[in-house]
Amino acid sequence: MAKKQYAVIGMGRFGSSVAHELSELGFDVLAIDADEHKIQDVSDWVTHAVAADSTDEDALRSLGLRNFDVVVVAIGEDIQASIMTTLILKELGVPEIIVKAQNELHGKVLNKIGADKVVFPERDMGLRVAHHLISPNILEYIELSNDYSIVEMKAPDFTIGKNLLKLDIRARYKCNVLAIKKGSELNITPNATDVIEPDDVLVIVGKTEDLSELELSYA
């Protein structure tokens, strides 16, 4: 299978981090930014780097963006430019458009005009930090929808030596243990009789409000 071709528009902190990681993972990346200096900064480590204004339809067309599998729009502050760029990419027929949103309203507009995925990096990182603060056991926090989330938490002391049946997380907190991590091993089909050991990590899914209760009780 041919390797996917990626383009990232906007070489701010978020865009350059996405472009850098894709390059590190061995993918071809076209980096675009209106600012020549930003392009010079990234040109050493991306496959191609081009200075262009992404609100210029002709410029995007001549860069052949319709031939890319995925285009990431990482324009931060200029919401108008972000929306116009997304619209142009949509009209060019880019198969997958991922856009960074500044706020909920921006996100709604992007969804309406056909962005395939809208990401809120600052908001999501803020959520993670907050959850880690209220309970240092929380290693990872992922919002699945408005109502449901997944948390990854260090097995707290009182769970050690007990099995899932005894802990009864499903009945007590209305949450499900999806997986138990033991070092690099991931058990994705935990049984009721599986005993939690020190340094285990539990991956739990549930309603966000129920998970919060669980997090707080573990804190």
H/E element, 87: helix 79-92
75 binds ligand ADP (CB under 6 A): yes
Indicate whether 107 belongs to the interface with ligand ADP (CB under 6 A). no
38 binds ligand ADP (CB under 6 A): yes
Pick between residue 106 and residue 182 the one whose CB is nearest to ligand ADP: 106
Tell me whether residue 50 or residue 178 sits nearer to ligand ADP (CB atom).
Answer: 50
Helices and strands in the chain: count of H runs, count of E runs = 9, 11
Closest CA to 45 of 66, 85, 18, 65: 18
Considering the complex, what minimum distance in angstroms separates the CB of residue 157 from ligand ADP?
Answer: 40
Let me know: does 81 contact 54? Beta carbons within 8 Å.
Answer: yes
Say what the alpha-carbon torsion angle 13, 18, 20, 24 is, to the nearest 10 degrees.
150
Choice from 7, 18, 34, 71 touching ligand ADP (CB under 6 A)? 34
How far is it, in rounded angstroms, from Cα 151 to Cα 132?
10
Q: At its nearest, how many Å lie between ligand ADP and the CB of residue 43? A: 14
Can you state the angle between helices 208-218 and 121-134, rounded to 10 degrees? 40
Whose Cβ is closer to ligand ADP: residue 88's or residue 180's?
88
Binding part of the chain for ligand ADP, among 21-29, 32-40, 41-49, 146-154 by CB under 6 A, reads 32-40
Site residues (CB under 6 A) for ligand ADP, limited to 46-65: 53-55
Min dist. Cβ of residue 184 to ligand ADP (A): 32
- Considering only residues 4 through 23, tell me which ones interact with ligand ADP, judged by CB under 6 A: 9-15
The 78-97 site mask, x for binding ligand ADP (CB under 6 A), equals x--x----------------
DSSP state at residue 182: E
Considering the complex, what minimum distance in angstroms separates the CB of residue 196 from ligand ADP? Answer: 40
Residue 28 as a binder of ligand ADP (CB under 6 A): the answer is no
Contact assessment for residue 32 and residue 9, using Cβ atoms and an 8 Å cutoff: yes
Q: Which lies closer to ligand ADP via its Cβ, residue 122 or residue 152?
A: 122
Nearest to 31 by CA among 2, 79, 68: 68
One-letter amino acid identity for 83?
A: I
Give the closest residue to 114 by CA, choosing from 97, 134, 101.
97
Binding site for ligand ADP (CB under 6 A): 9-15, 32-35, 38, 53-55, 74-78, 81
